[in-house]
Amino acid sequence: MNRFRKTAALALSLAMLTACSSGSASTPSAAPADDAAGKTSVTVAIDADLNTMDYQVATDGNSFIMQTLCIAGLTEINGEGTPVADMAETWDISEDGLQYTFHLRDGITWSDGTPVTANDFVFAWRRLVDPALASEYNFLLDTAMHVVNAAEVIKGEKPVEELGVSAPDDKTFVVDLSIPCGFFLSLCAFPSTFPLNQAFFEAQGDKYAQNIDNQLYNGPYVMSDRQDGSLYTFTKNPNYWNADNIAMETVAFQLLQDTQSAMMSYENGDLDVVKLVSEQVEAYSGTEGYVSNLQGYLWYISPNYTHDFINNADLREAIMFGIDREAICNLVLKDGSVAARGIIPREFAYGPDGKDYCDTTDAFVTYDPERAAAAWARAQEALGETLTISLLFEDSEASKAVAENLKSMLEANCPGLTISLDQKPKKTRLELMRTLDPSFELGLTRWGPDYNDPQTYMDLFKSDVAGYNGSFSNDEYNEIMNRAETGEDAANPEARWQDMKDAEKLLIADLYAEIPVYQNGGAMMINPAIDGIEFHAGAVDNYRHIYVK
């Protein structure tokens, strides 16, 4: 380990995983052309567009990254993966762990000069669970954080005013829980829990968060320019309470899906951070500025169970075992990605015994073309000799390459099966999957964890919670997860951990319900002149603290 890689092996707290430094410079030279002297701006290349700046609606990583630049929550995740004070200066936790009392800082304001108050948190948290919004992240206050009455509010059984949050005064925010939550403070740094000024929000109506003037900011930066589909620029906020420790004047994100063009811009000094794919990794590995890290993102194929043929377990088994994941990672992506072994990533969650979750479970996913062929033969008896299935994927170079290889592998291992490729922009892909559009049959998607615990993945497939909009549903799976989250095992770390293992085995090894493919690697080039980017395995990557070395 070196200064680019730091991990925390604590069971119920966030860990972080930063990039691993490589050796000295060698050909090809990839150092940016600009001189570091006087550098006050950083530009980051992204390969998927901003989806929304509404942080109680957002579900994707790039949106969250930009939101954490310009909005501040009660806490912030530091470089060690630990929650530290942000809008809240201090907090008190009751002895039973069921009440958190946050004390806000003096003088904190929104970008229009109005104070940030405890009522801004009350309004935001109530909006998050409001059935009228139907946020995909409303579960955070329910099954993750266990805020009192969250489930009933989400279901519409109680009004939002009965959510277990209150503001005794402008500087005091109180949260009541039904069950202690060991990672509660970490989730207070997640964008879904950020504050929202009610008067401003209501004045904007449907235009809220649609452009830079329809949103307020209270974080280290303000969004100063927004060119959808192109460039997003953030300028330092002098009124942020910790502005003296924010080094860069501007941080910008430029959408560039052509990785070759992105690397040319990097070498010309126009970009400071660029992701690498495939042959680029081989070309630049070992050069100055090359870093690589194993990320918490898990890519998997999600079936749409509203289609009758998807409910054929033999078909899903054939797909599960007909994919050579090692080949996809080592021969296609070449960016440090690793083959998935289940739905829970490596180096991400650590149990009560301090061991990596993945070191204590079986590998549920393997490449077995003979098993795939046998399962496909059984599926053909019910579905016919030939079948065409659509695979929905987003328009990044990596997703396109993976989808093409999935098609080739599955068609070779399951003769008579045709995979029809359906490429869409990420925003469209997300919407088609969220609404279970009929055109969506299989979807190549990813999930990035919100906190370092298997529950952040397992909750994705728990169908008996308010607001669930997936298509998979299994009573036994729900029963196991309920026992772990709110039932008899919730307060028993060892029993709860075993429940997670049992639930994963049922989901992947027994039902083939979701089809893991790979865990994201993070090979990239970072301008050697800068430092301070914090890559988190179980939280939002943080670009707040970039500085010139």
What per-residue confidence (pLDDT) applies to 30? Answer: 52
Distances (CA, A) of 463 to 144, 197, 509: 15, 32, 19
Strands (E), 122-169: 165-169
Phi, psi at residue 259, to the nearest 5°? Answer: -70, -30
Runs of H (alpha helix) within 71-211: 118-129, 139, 150-154, 184-187, 198-204
pLDDT number for residue 182: 85
Token pair in block for residue 244: 């003296």
Higher-confidence position of 533 and 1 = 533
Does pLDDT of 70 surpass 60? Answer: yes
Q: What is the pLDDT at residue 304? A: 98
pLDDT score for 35: 54
Per-residue confidence (pLDDT) for residue 29, from 0 to 100 = 45
Instruction: Output the pLDDT for position 438.
Output: 97
Average pLDDT (370-385) is: 98
CB 164 within 8 A of CB 176: yes
How much is the average pLDDT of 291-309? 93
- 542: tokens are 């943080």
pLDDT tens per residue, range 157-185: 999 999 999 999 999 999 999 999 988 99
Q: At residue 385, what are phi and psi to the nearest 5 degrees? A: -65, -30
pLDDT at position 375? 98
Identify the residue with better confidence: 24 or 139. Answer: 139
Scanning 451-535, the segments in alpha helix (DSSP H) are: 455-458, 475-485, 493-504
Question: Which residues, 6+ apart, have CB-to-CB distance to 70 below 8 Å?
Answer: 217, 219, 220, 221, 222, 223, 234, 237
**CA-wise closest residue to 258 among 266, 247, 250:** 266
For residue 329, give both structure tokens.
Answer: 């990672």
Residue 23 has pLDDT above 80, yes or no: no
pLDDT score for 79: 87
pLDDT above 60 (res 308):
yes
- Token digits for 191? 């964008």
| CA–CA distance, 35 with 438 (Å, rounded to integer) | 52
Give the pairing type, strands 294-303 and 547-548: unpaired
User: For 204-241, what is each residue's pLDDT tens digit?
Assistant: 999 999 999 999 999 999 999 999 999 999 999 999 99
Cβ contacts of 194 within 8 Å, gap of 6 or more: 55, 67, 71, 72, 73, 124
Provide the terminal-to-terminal Cα distance of the chain, rounded to the nearest Å: 20
What pLDDT was estimated at residue 14?
31
Q: Which pLDDT tens digit goes with each residue over 390-448?
A: 999 999 889 999 999 999 999 999 999 999 999 999 989 999 999 999 999 999 999 98
Q: How many CB atoms lie within 10 A of CB 159?
A: 12
> Per-residue pLDDT tens for 463-518?
998 778 899 999 999 999 999 988 899 889 999 999 999 999 999 999 999 999 99
Top pLDDT among 110 and 448 is at: 110
Domains of the chain: 1-47+256-293+523-549 (no CATH), 75-207 (3.90.76.10), 295-521 (3.10.105.10)
Q: pLDDT by residue (tens digit) across 269-297?
A: 999 999 988 888 888 988 999 998 888 88
Q: What percent of the chain has pLDDT over 90?
A: 78
Residue bearing the bigger pLDDT, 195 or 537 = 195
What is the SS3 assignment for 118? helix
Query: Higher confidence at residue 247 or residue 335?
Result: 247
pTM comes to: 0.80
Q: Given this model, what pLDDT does residue 466 score?
A: 73
**Summary mean pLDDT of the chain:** 91
| Beta strands across the sheet bearing 294-303 | 338-339, 515-521, 294-303, 442-447, 387-394, 417-424
Tens digit of each residue's pLDDT (9 = 90 or more) over 340-369: 999 999 988 889 998 999 999 989 999 999
Which residues are registered as beta bridge partners of 356?
350
Find out whether 33 and 269 touch, Cβ atoms under 8 Å: yes
Angle at 132 between CA 141 and CA 121, to 5 degrees: 45
pLDDT band at 8 (very low <50, low <70, confident <90, very high): very low
Residue 13 has pLDDT above 50, yes or no: no
Nearest alpha carbon to residue 139 among 516, 485, 448, 436? 485
